[in-house]
Chains A and B, each alone.
Chain A
Amino acid sequence: MSADFTTLTVEQLSRHYGRRKALHRVSLACHAGDIIGLLGPNGAGKSTLLSILATVLAPSEGHVRYGTLTAASGGAALRGRIGMLGHDLFLYPELSALENLVFFGNLYGLADAEARAKAALARTGLGDRAHDAVAGFSRGMRQRVALERALLHEPRLLLLDEPFTGLDQASTRALVERLRQVQRAGTMTVLATHDLDTVDGLLTRECILRQGRLLGVDASQGTLRDRYHATVHGA
């Protein structure tokens, strides 16, 4: 069964924990090549939305459609077309960079997992550290390995939770460049971040969340930072 998709539609999505609205009636649409930024203060529901998009959390109400599929109808095949970089990176610190990538590559059923993993590490400039345990890596290096882990199976939808946290300038530039590459390949990206200046110009669209609600984005001029503050603080 093919689980490919080129659009992502979120309709009236809500997730409640008791009476707390982690996410409330959020709708958005996404097409191939889009990079959507989820912005907003802590506890705005960014991570909840990413978890639902990753199909590991079920919404209380509303739907997510991946092309014509849903999380229920797509099942494992759909999960195989989504890549996620979580805030906690999803890497085994005891294993080497290569072992991590090969393990997940095999788990995703890639026939050439080892070759792909080596190529990915070479591309990120970590080829010579491939056999070192991830535990000894700096935050920036780990982040790069983690991103390659999420991209190894060439997902249609890439989900990133705070990918810029703890990165120095060079690593940030490299990450932005990598995201542009992914964009050119037609992958949809949804990323949650606080680094407004970094992603200004990278995003094709921004979604500003506060207390689980999607705030209408003020279409006025100015930098992303200005727009964000105008929307969140209701200037």
Chain B
Amino acid sequence: MRQFLRVAWLVVQKDLRVESRSFEVVSTTLFFSVTVVLIFAFGLVREGRPADDVAAAILWIALAFSGTLALGRTFERERQAETLRALLMAPADRPALYVGKLAGMLVLLVLIEAVLVPLIGLLFQAPILRYPWSLAGLLLAGTVGFSAVGTLFAAMLVRARSRDVLLPILLYPMTVPVMIMGVRGTAALFQATPDEPLARFCLAFLVFIDVVFVTLALWTFEPVMTD
């Protein structure tokens, strides 16, 4: 177990160090997510007033889009010098490599959320500070669910052809439950008369999905990654 965590920590550290050299993924993904928010705002805000629940929806759509972009870029990096193969050749637990990549992805996406959420609050008058902990819980649980599937799929697509287009094609239908629960839960917190029980249910369900997805991904990573 200590070995497992040590390997995962090494991979996270390495990923963050690589990212800290250029901030390429963070900066491009962040900018992209802001443009997504703006485009949806132009589509959905009329006469300066957003429709109900729009803020929650846009927040999660922007997350899904930028998450896909970040996943694609992160694994393109591992593909370029075939370093993913080098990782698989190391005498390390392969699921530990998965956990490391997943954790690195989570750090990245949480950074993006830290900018995205205040922006949404500002532009759509969403009460982001009304239930800060519930909102943070929903966002974190949703991000874990999305990244758990995303990291596995992006890693296995490193070997495939047409991987750029296949990643969103595989990822979006698979993460519909995560998206629905995220949007519903967040909207329940944002609406004029907040529905706390619904938000709590969504959070609990997201955590359940997370547990199942991560377990399944740990289980399938090794057979899927060895040819």
Instruction: Report if A and B touch in the complex (beta carbons < 8 A).
Output: yes
- Confirm or deny: A57 has a beta carbon within 8 angstroms of a beta carbon on chain B: yes
Which one of A55, A92, A103, A108 lies within 8 Å of B81 (CB-CB)? Answer: A92
Which one of B7, B17, B81, B226 lies within 8 Å of A58 (CB-CB)? Answer: B226
Quick check: A95 and B89 within 8 Å, CB to CB? no
Quick check: A107 and B92 within 8 Å, CB to CB? yes
Quick check: A79 and B90 within 8 Å, CB to CB? yes
Quick check: B86 and A86 within 8 Å, CB to CB? yes
A-B contact count (CB 8 A): 71
Within 8 A of B (CB), among A94-124: 94-95, 99, 103-104, 106-109
> Binding site of A, secondary structure by majority: helix, strand, loop or mixed?
loop
Known: A88-B80, A94-B18, A133-B21. A108 touches B90 (CB 8 A): yes
Known: A90-B83, A95-B17, A103-B10. A55 touches B22 (CB 8 A): no
Question: Chain B residues with Cβ under 8 A from A86's Cβ?
Answer: 82, 85-86
Question: Chain B residues with Cβ under 8 A from A57's Cβ?
Answer: 227
Q: What's the interface size class on A, roughly? A: 20 to 34
Quick check: B83 and A55 within 8 Å, CB to CB? no
Within 8 A of A (CB), among B85-99: 85-93
Cβ contacts A73-93/B at 8 Å (1 or 0 each)? 000111110101011111111
Question: Once the chains are docked, how many angstroms separate the CA of A208 from the CA of B80?
Answer: 29
Question: Chain B residues with Cβ under 8 A from A103's Cβ?
Answer: 10, 14
Within 8 A of A (CB), among B172-227: 226-227
Known: A58-B226, A90-B82. A82 touches B10 (CB 8 A): no
Give B contacts to A, CB under 8 Å: 3, 7, 10, 14, 17-18, 21-22, 77, 80-83, 85-93, 226-227
Q: Can you add 15 more A-B contacts, CB < 8 Å, to A76-B91, A76-B92, A87-B82? A: A56-B226, A57-B227, A77-B91, A79-B89, A84-B86, A94-B17, A94-B22, A95-B14, A106-B10, A107-B7, A107-B10, A107-B92, A108-B91, A109-B3, A133-B21
Give A contacts to B, CB under 8 Å: 54-58, 76-80, 82, 84, 86-95, 99, 103-104, 106-109, 133
Q: What would be 19 A-B contacts, judged by CB atoms less than 8 Å apart?
A: A55-B89, A56-B88, A56-B226, A58-B227, A76-B93, A78-B91, A80-B90, A89-B81, A90-B81, A90-B85, A91-B81, A92-B81, A93-B80, A95-B14, A95-B17, A99-B17, A106-B10, A107-B7, A107-B92
